[in-house]
Amino acid sequence: MQTHEIRQRFIEHFKKAGHTEVPSASLILDDPNLLFVNAGMVPFKPYFLGQQNPPYKTATSIQKCVRTLDIEEVGITTRHNTFFQMAGNFSFGDYFKEGAIENAWKLLTNTLEDGGFGFDPDRLWVTVFHDDEEAAEIWENKIGVPAERIQRMGMEDNYWSMGVPGPCGPCSEIYYDRGPEHGRDGGPIADEHRYMEIWNLVFMQFERGAGDKKGNFPILGELPQKNIDTGMGVERLACLLQGVDNVYETDLLRPVIDEAEKLTGATYGAQHSDDVRFRVIADHCRTGLMLILDGVTPGNEGRGYILRRLLRRIIRSARLLGATGNTMEALMNTVRQTMTPSYPEIADNWERIRSVAVGEEKAFLKTLESGSRLYEGHAAEVKKSGASRLPGDVAFTLHDTHGFPIDLTMEMAAEDGLTVDRAGFDTLMAEQKARAKADNKAKKHGHADESVYRPFVDNHPTVFTGYTQLEDEGCVLGLVADGALADVASEGQTVQVILDRTPFYAEAGGQMADRGELRGASFIGDVTDVQKVGKKVWLHQVTVTGGELAVGHKVTAVVSPSWRHQARQAHSGTHLIHAALRQVLGPTAVQAGSLNKPGYLRFDFNYGQQLSPSQMRDIEQIANGAVDADYTVHTIETSLDEAKKMGAMALFGENYGSQVRVVEIGGPFSLELCGGIHVEHSSQIGPIAVLGESSVGSGIRRIEAYTGMDSFTHLSKDKALVADLATSLKTPSEEIPERIEVLTAKLKVAEKQLQQLRNQQLLSQVGELVNSAVEINGIQLVAQELPEGVGAGDLRTIALDAKSRLGSRPAVVLFASQDNGKVPFVAAVTDSAVARGVKAGELVRTFGDKVQGRGGGKPQMAQGSGSSASGIAAGIEAVKEVVSTV
């Protein structure tokens, strides 16, 4: 029975029993305690905790789950998987123990014709909590399971809670006896390998108190309503119904292993170390695909780091098995074929999934090659010294300078019989983070001790009035100069000014702070920056340009109208770009950072590949279409829950209060949580000129654009440039691309002809080159650097011609040149020189070391390429040395 049929039978069984089918939730839920959904009941937690009223009394689902605590164990045994599917049925105050037990038993034991799984009842065992007499009585007297196949277990095995105060209750688990060939008699208590657990029924009926470990907590009483939470492992059931020993042999994962065999040339089942790598590939490919499907992109923190780690373990495992080329696309395509019957959305998102996975492979292969060489050198030094631990500073340098992950360093060290000074590594990482934090704080607050602001944060929060006005009167509550409180600031001095109220926007949400002035009866100063402390106090950085400012003075705070106008154009323009991006690239292209300043915006977003010119045009057109539509911009103050119900987008990782501000542009066109300053109508943004997009990190792209007059100025310059080109080329502006293409083609032809003439001239000079041969150790050596621009193919032709002119005598020819920043080189050796022990392949390797390159070939002919032209002369001398020693 195929896995997708197992899923379907489960759902149909419970739908016939009156349950509401609930689709699997995303692997990423808004739960601060979870990196990923790790159990089937997680999406229903608010109902079990009484936080929300369920819209149904009973439900059933097949939930996607990921657990990553045991990544290192994956593959070593066949029991660990990072991704799995949990089939479950749930009751919220409806049926209880008897209903849950009957539903499970019928599905397992009913015949295939009746919609069941057809298990032999005589091979099923059950366990109950040691004092749960009610469950034991139901199993024995209502279901008919013999008493000897009902076993009792304690809190560790048959009692459930979430690990914190809240709902809890006893469990009853169902096991299948796989037969004596899998272990000893005696039921689950004796051998859980032979007796495989397939279903866990949780009877959620009590409330527990605080405790320090599982089982060590008080039971406070019964819950107001009794609930059912069950979980049946789809993969485990597939093992039994497909007659295989473990999940890696099922229809979902064995095809991935088969594909890995083709790509690597290794054989699954031949040796344990290889089997581990095959299982890592199969498990991680499936998990990686499902994470990318749900919007995760490779990164250096949180979910992104987990995905990156999984993908890189796949790549390295394939390399260790013998793969030499790219493998990710073929492996992921196999997962697509096995998983799409259950998750049709994979097909719709395949191109994005493929590009993310392939992009990570390309990036990591470069890191793997260079980092592995560096690691091997350090590991060799450690072994040579007789030590067994790789120093923490070495691991830190590999990670920080060369991008080599610490977990990979630890894995490779373990394979070499070494350990890593992880404590030393962690110390250096902590020091680096502390330095970065201190640098950032210094930039924002001038090295001030933040304790100086504490009285203001606690007692005098700043009232911000800038949403509705550009000018306001305020009282100077405090002055901070050089990190200390001050009473007075004089002309020429720069200080931080704390006001009781201000119209100045403090830098936040990617929007730069306002600029303007503070004016008093005998004072004037320029406001050059505004920052927040404790999210409550505005710090105005003010340079006193006239008079004197003192604590207690009344001032008028005036925001520059032009600055504010252009800044809000850029901020609202950013929202339009974000909305356009999601229309063009899909809902997973979400914000990863932004900067808005007058006339300019940049927007970072999660996406795994470069955008095409047509995508860029579409984004610009959609954004400007929204400008032209003159949408009204609404700001709504509401609760966070209401904002989410409205569909407002929140930035992942951002901490929001209970009350939030929603910015709506054109209704459903753009709806985001945002505390920034915006235009009243989208037409006020003016034209948006997209400058381009680029990569700012693995999986993160950046779009830059101008707005308003800056956009107009940029477009005017482009227009003038096009006009100048049209005049120079004597062609209408709309025909410029075609004209340039024709000229470029002609130029390439001319360059090719010129190079051919140069090469013919060189060939005519081969005789002179041969005549320049020097005899070393009885061997004729022609070693020259040829003129710049001679490519690898022409070098080979010239070298073969020179070799043929040298006849049958022992001779060596080596030519090199500089071509488009590269250093191609070729060695040709006559048969009689080969007989003397000179081999072309060894010569190019010797030469390649001097020009930071590599090469190879046969004894008579070999070639390569390097990157350092400054090493050509040294390379020729090294070749002479080789010839002189044969």
For every residue of 666-685, DSSP letters joined together read TGGGEEEE--S---SBGGGG
Q: Same domain for 216 and 317?
A: no
Q: Residue 539 sits in a domain of what CATH number?
A: 2.40.30.130
Final residue of a domain: which of 317, 347, 368? 368
How crowded is residue 317: how many other Cβ atoms within 10 Å of its Cβ? 23
Contacts of 704 (CB under 8 A, 6+ apart): 600, 601, 602, 603, 690, 691, 692, 693, 694
**pLDDT at position 581:** 93
What is the distance between the alpha carbons of residues 493 and 170, in angstroms, rounded to a whole number?
A: 71
Q: Tell me, yes or no, whether 485 lies in a domain.
A: yes
Final residue of a domain: which of 245, 271, 290? 245
What is the distance between the alpha carbons of residues 277 and 269, in angstroms, rounded to a whole number?
A: 11
β partners of residue 531: 539
Look up residue 739 and give its two tokens.
């004209």
What is the distance between the alpha carbons of residues 685 and 622, in angstroms, rounded to a whole number?
A: 14
β partners of residue 153: 129
Q: Same domain for 235 and 301?
A: no
Handedness of CA 872, 877, 880, 881 (dihedral sign): negative
What is the distance between the alpha carbons of residues 335 and 328, in angstroms, rounded to a whole number?
A: 11
DSSP secondary structure code for residue 826 in this structure? E
Q: Residue 686 sits in a domain of what CATH number?
A: 3.30.980.10
What is the distance between the alpha carbons of residues 422 and 604, in angstroms, rounded to a whole number?
A: 33
Q: Are 733 and 718 in contact (CB under 8 A)?
A: no
Q: Same domain for 581 and 623?
A: yes
Map 544-572 to HEC letters: EEEEEEECCCEEEEEECHHHHHHHHHHHH
Q: Same domain for 93 and 191?
A: yes
Handedness of CA 829, 832, 838, 841 (dihedral sign): positive
Q: Quote the distance between the C-alpha of residue 110 and its chain's center.
A: 45
Distances (CA, A) of 431 to 305, 346, 396, 428, 436: 21, 42, 11, 5, 9
Tens of pLDDT, residues 431-484: 876 765 554 444 344 334 466 887 787 678 899 999 999 999 999 999 999 888
Tens of pLDDT, residues 142-198: 999 999 999 999 988 899 987 778 889 999 999 999 999 999 999 999 998 899 999
Q: Tell me, yes or no, whether 335 lies in a domain.
A: yes
Q: Hey, is 809 helix, strand or coil?
A: coil
In the annotated binding site, the residues are 571, 575, 674, 678
**pLDDT at position 876:** 94
**pLDDT at position 662:** 93
What is the distance between the alpha carbons of residues 591 and 585, in angstroms, rounded to a whole number?
A: 12
Q: Same domain for 531 and 573?
A: no
Distances (CA, A) of 311 to 273, 302, 303, 317, 626: 19, 15, 13, 10, 39
Look up residue 494 and give its two tokens.
């720069």
What's the Rg (C-alpha) of the chain? 35
**pLDDT at position 213:** 60
- Structural domain range at position 705: 564-716
Q: Tell me, yes or no, whether 750 lies in a domain.
A: no
Handedness of CA 212, 217, 220, 226 (dihedral sign): positive
Q: Are 282 and 248 in contact (CB under 8 A)?
A: yes
Look up residue 596 and give its two tokens.
């808005």
Q: Same domain for 586 and 490?
A: no
* Element holding 706 (H helix, E strand): strand 700-707
Contacts of 46 (CB under 8 A, 6+ apart): 52
Q: Tell me, yes or no, whether 482 lies in a domain.
A: yes
Contacts of 373 (CB under 8 A, 6+ apart): none
Distances (CA, A) of 745 to 736, 742, 748: 14, 5, 5
Q: Tell me, yes or no, whether 726 lies in a domain.
A: no
- In which residue ranges of the chain is pLDDT below 50? 439-449, 652-655
Of 852, 872, 770, the residue nearest 813 (C-alpha)? 770
What is the distance between the alpha carbons of residues 92 and 200, in angstroms, rounded to a whole number?
A: 17
Contacts of 208 (CB under 8 A, 6+ apart): 161, 165, 166, 167, 168, 217, 218, 219, 220
- Helix, strand, coil proportions of the chain in percent (round to 5)? 45, 25, 30
Final residue of a domain: which of 368, 395, 429? 368
Angle at 240 between CA 236 and CA 241, to 5 degrees: 110
What is the distance between the alpha carbons of residues 320 and 412, in angstroms, rounded to a whole number?
A: 11
What is the distance between the alpha carbons of residues 698 and 356, in angstroms, rounded to a whole number?
A: 10
What is the distance between the alpha carbons of residues 89 and 62, in angstroms, rounded to a whole number?
A: 9
Q: Are 598 and 568 in contact (CB under 8 A)?
A: no
Q: Same domain for 508 and 570?
A: no
DSSP 370-385: HHHHHHHHHHHHHHHT
Domain count, the chain: 5
What is the distance between the alpha carbons of residues 524 and 546, in angstroms, rounded to a whole number?
A: 5
Q: How far apart are the first and last CA of the chain?
A: 68
What is the distance between the alpha carbons of residues 831 and 821, in angstroms, rounded to a whole number?
A: 33
The whole-model pTM stands at: 0.57
Look up residue 852 and give its two tokens.
């930071």
Q: Same domain for 95 and 199?
A: yes
Q: Tell me, yes or no, whether 417 lies in a domain.
A: no
Q: Same domain for 784 and 855?
A: yes
Q: Quote the distance between the C-alpha of residue 361 and its chain's center.
A: 12
Q: Hey, is 654 helix, strand or coil?
A: coil
Q: Same domain for 601 and 530?
A: no
β partners of residue 539: 531
In the annotated binding site for Zn(2+), the residues are 571, 575, 674, 678
Q: Are 332 and 354 in contact (CB under 8 A)?
A: yes
**Helices 254-264, 328-339: crossing angle, 10 deg rounding:** 160
Q: Tell me, yes or no, whether 375 lies in a domain.
A: no
What is the distance between the alpha carbons of residues 657 and 420, in angstroms, rounded to a whole number?
A: 42
Q: Are 231 and 86 in contact (CB under 8 A)?
A: yes
Angle at 639 between CA 634 and CA 640, to 5 degrees: 95
**pLDDT at position 49:** 76
Q: Same domain for 572 and 706?
A: yes
Q: Tell me, yes or no, whether 390 lies in a domain.
A: no
Contacts of 830 (CB under 8 A, 6+ apart): 803, 806, 807, 808, 809, 810, 811, 812, 860
**pLDDT at position 74:** 87
Q: Residue 205 sits in a domain of what CATH number?
A: 3.30.930.10
Q: Quote the distance between the C-alpha of residue 845 and its chain's center.
A: 38
**pLDDT at position 81:** 86
Q: Hey, is 31 helix, strand or coil?
A: coil
Tell me phi and psi for residue 482, to 5 degrees: 55, 40
Q: Same domain for 182 and 296?
A: no
Provide the pairing of β-strand 523-533 with 516-520. Answer: antiparallel
Q: Are 359 and 609 in contact (CB under 8 A)?
A: yes
DSSP 158-215: HEEE-SSSEEEEEEEEEEEE--GGGS-SS-TTT-TTTEEEEEEEEEEEEEE---SSTT
